[in-house]
Structure 1
Amino acid sequence: MKRNGLLAAAAFLLTSCTSEPPHSLITPFSAVTAEANSKPKALPEPLVREKQPQVRGVWLATVSRLDWPPVSSINTSNPVLRATQQKLALREKLDKLQRLGINTLFFQVKPDGTALWQSNILPSSDMLTGRIGEYPGYDPLQFVLNEAHKRGIKVHAWFNPYRVSVNTNAATVAALDRTRSQHPASVFVLHRDWIRVASNRFVLDPGIPQVRDWITSIVAEVVKHYPIDGVQFDDYFYSESSDSALNDSQTYKAFGQGFNSKADWRRHNTELLIEQVSRTIHQLKPHVEFGVSPVGVWRNLSHDAAGSDTRGAAAYDESYADTRRWVQQGLLDYIAPQLYWPFSRSAARYDVLAKWWANVVATTNTQLYIGIALYKVGEPSSKEPDWALEGGVPELKKQLDLNESLPQIQGTILFREDFLNQPQTREAVDYLYSRWSD
């Protein structure tokens, strides 16, 4: 989670591994207990689950038009022709996914503070037209649902909950301000007091209760009005960087009473959102699945006896997402950790993390799908050379073989769709076709 440099940098921050345990912006380091040095426990017997087909999924990103819609369509002055081009491009992608054996599409419907559906809460996405709030001439989510379902492909609506924009440039501010006269207008102008800057983006402050209610209402709108198969949140919860931290001191002062630290309060806020969204989805349509795709490391063993034997950026400490607890509390129908490293990456071995997550879900009713790094396949790397060996096929095969060997893992999701079409992944895609295609 790279055509866009800003997005690539964000993905690197969230998925990179260092030789030392990460130092959180807020969470203090905790002492290593004796239990942390003990041998990993054997996987418990999995719960008896209803047999479901293995998920063979792919993420399709619309932020910065990474996978869709085609940039060329935005340069088309004729709105009818633009919509035709976008529909044709999406049909072609779905045809290819069907041939490949993909059965689940994770379609990004909320890349920022805009919508790729007909919303009464969010303005239409400028990803479709180049201008926030301009109607694209059709309903993208309904279109993808119709076309995917015809091909036997399930669709999960993928939301970035808190991001309002991908930058804070003057042009972005002007574009957001121009929505003031629209209906609906951007949250940027309707609730300016909810907006903060973090990682050089405009984001919503997760500590404000009305923000969580507002996000829940957005999810509810989609669940109510569209025949989606699932809802997914990505890994951007408290997303900040050392040079652009989220300033939520006043929010903490207003709402953080009773917590020993801001870090604990932040994790509580994130869990409240997950619990509220989960409850709302299942009240509206119990069959619609709710899942999260977090950073692959929950916590490192050096920080927590229950953590994985890794040295990577951790969701618990960096984005204040206690993803392991959400599974244990039964808040998720599925979890799809991003395990974007090879078997040979000692700081975050693929097999170590896959087995750790299998252990987490083993005695729960939460399904486990593994996100793998298609975007790295075929790319030369001094730290991860296995991705380029023989077109990345041996590494990809090992990861898929492990996934299928562990009964707790019910599927694999590729990040991301456009890399199925790149020359460096051709051998890997051919391998996937031979393995997955009926």
Structure 2
Amino acid sequence: MSSPRSVSRVLKSKKLGTLVAAVLLLASCSSKPPKSLVTPLPSVTPPAHGKTDQTREPMRGVWLATVSRLDWPPVSSADISDPDVRIRVQQKALTDKLDKLKSLGINTVFFQVKPDGTALWSSKILPWSDVFTGNIGENPGYDPLQFMIEEAHKRGIKVHAWFNPYRVSTNTTSSTVARLNRTLSANPSSVYVLHRDWIRTAGDRFVVDPGIPEARDWITSIVAEVVKGYDIDGVQFDDYFYTESPGSALNDSQTFKQYGQAFNAKADWRRHNTQQLIEQVSRTIKQLKPGVEFGVSPAGVWRNRSFDPAGSDTRGAAAYDESFADTRQWVQQGLLDYIAPQLYWPFARDAARYDVLAKWWSEVVKPTHTRLYIGVALYKVGERSKVEPDWVINGGVPELKKQLDMNESMPHIDGTILFREDYLNQPQTREAVSYLKSRWGS
């Protein structure tokens, strides 16, 4: 069953395909790094909405995750056999969430539209996500992204489309392989079957190899499709660039051999690949719709001072060394409208103190036009932890208050984003949610 919005989107698809192709010609990367064909990098240039805009209200955001139906849609809704009932249940669940967010004073939702190799919008590149019906590629009967945008905007809430760029699946089980293979007869099919040579295993998941230039073009085209086709307020990438685990490293030796001749170290080549993607996507968004913001939410530590004198006084996993993402450089080069580091620790966590990292990031953005939003660990509030006991003292309210006080008092911090939405509905966060409502709500 197709809604009128789905039909209109089909009619626009030919135009969109032509535009995406043109954008990729402008933004594509060279297959012989390190030279980039994106555009010459500027010194810092102001984005469409500069930090000088004093009328901008502080960011009060929340991440809404759809991967594995963590926040939405309801886990059981995919089992509803009547499609009309299923659609009503899923849409009502989302509007109830938006009503609550509005009452809490949340003004922006970071909505996960590409949780893996599937889409939560009517895409000509990716198959439909299985979170709605249980089947990859099955039309849910409505356009969830369009529905989210319309309902959020009615309530004065902005929507940023949140993409996981490289993840194809959340596991590598035989049943997952079978489900991906079944999309071969679908239109569009999964990247798993269309470009099997791009697929690697890392962190016990199927991922697209970030070192393949055509794969980066493919990701850029996906972002372009959403930016062109939907009235979103922003685009965000999370911290999943290169993702490995001790027992499941990414085997990109052949890719390095093919494309990494200009680099002595694979780590430098990997960082270059991530840089290329950020450049491409940044330029593409601004070419299509300059008013759409582009941001990244990286791991909270760029580098530790013990490795780099420019790093923070911390001892945590570093984005530069672990994810091969030079997040500080993107800010300095003016490639991002905002950066939202995940500072998921309390003030008392010596290895990665909240205040130490918040001040470090404030100094990074200070001479630039990039806004700084801080990602806060709502998911830890009320959870007992030997190493972080502060999250349970008085319901976690004192720790949360200290973090929000800091975010709202420092001149170079422009807001807070909570991870993640469903924790607003859990019993352990009840006191903290009441506090948020008294502080932010109307």
How high is the TM-score relative to the length of structure 1?
A: 0.89
Pairing partner for 1:246 from 239, 250, 253: 250
Asked if the contact 2:241–2:274 (Cα under 8 Å) also holds between the matched residues in 1, the reply is yes
Consecutive aligned runs of 4 or more in structure 1 exceeding 6 Å deviation: none
Match of 1:66 in 2: 70
Asked if the contact 2:297–2:341 (Cα under 8 Å) also holds between the matched residues in 1, the reply is yes
Give the aligned residue type for 2:231: P
CA displacement 1:148-182 (0-9 Å, x = unmatched): 00000000000000000000000000000000000
* Distance in 2 separating the partners of 1:47 and 1:242: 40
Pairing partner for 1:208 from 208, 212, 217: 212
Matches within 5 A, 1:266-345: 266-345=270-349
Match of 1:6 in 2: none
Match of 2:351 in 1: 347
Asked if the contact 2:271–2:324 (Cα under 8 Å) also holds between the matched residues in 1, the reply is yes
Matching of residue 383 in structure 1 with residue 384 in structure 2: no
Give the aligned residue type for 1:427: E
Pairing partner for 2:222 from 218, 221, 224: 218
Give the aligned residue type for 2:343: L
Match of 2:200 in 1: 196
Asked if the contact 2:51–2:371 (Cα under 8 Å) also holds between the matched residues in 1, the reply is no
Q: How many residues align?
A: 393
Q: SS of 2:348's equivalent?
A: coil
* Distance in 1 separating the partners of 2:434 and 2:152: 22
Match of 2:103 in 1: 99
| Deviation, structure 1 residue 76 | 0.7
Asked if the contact 1:47–1:362 (Cα under 8 Å) also holds between the matched residues in 2, the reply is no
Match of 2:370 in 1: 366
| Deviation, structure 1 residue 275 | 0.4
Q: SS of 1:251's equivalent?
A: helix
Q: SS of 1:56's equivalent?
A: strand
Match of 1:57 in 2: 61
Q: SS of 1:129's equivalent?
A: coil
Q: SS of 2:148's equivalent?
A: helix
Give the aligned residue type for 1:148: A
* Distance in 1 separating the partners of 2:117 and 2:88: 25
Give the aligned residue type for 1:271: Q
Q: SS of 1:126's equivalent?
A: coil
* Distance in 2 separating the partners of 1:80 and 1:180: 27
Pairing partner for 2:92 from 80, 88, 93: 88
| Deviation, structure 1 residue 107 | 0.2
Q: SS of 2:131's equivalent?
A: helix
Match of 1:19 in 2: none
| Deviation, structure 1 residue 369 | 0.2
Shift in alpha-carbon separation, 1:47–1:230, aligned structure 2, 3 A = closer
Q: Percent identity?
A: 75
Give the aligned residue type for 2:229: H
* Distance in 1 separating the partners of 2:82 and 2:329: 50
Pairing partner for 2:232 from 216, 228, 232: 228
Asked if the contact 2:345–2:354 (Cα under 8 Å) also holds between the matched residues in 1, the reply is yes
Q: Structure 2: give runs of 5+ residues left out of the alignment.
A: 1-49
Match of 1:356 in 2: 360
Matches within 5 A, 1:78-157: 78-157=82-161
Greater displacement, 253-262 / 177-186:
253-262
Pairing partner for 2:81 from 62, 77, 82: 77
CA displacement 1:100-119 (0-9 Å, x = unmatched): 00000000000000000000
CA displacement 1:233-279 (0-9 Å, x = unmatched): 00000000110000000000000011120000000000000000000
Match of 1:28 in 2: none
Q: Structure 1: give runs of 5+ residues left out of the alignment.
A: 1-45
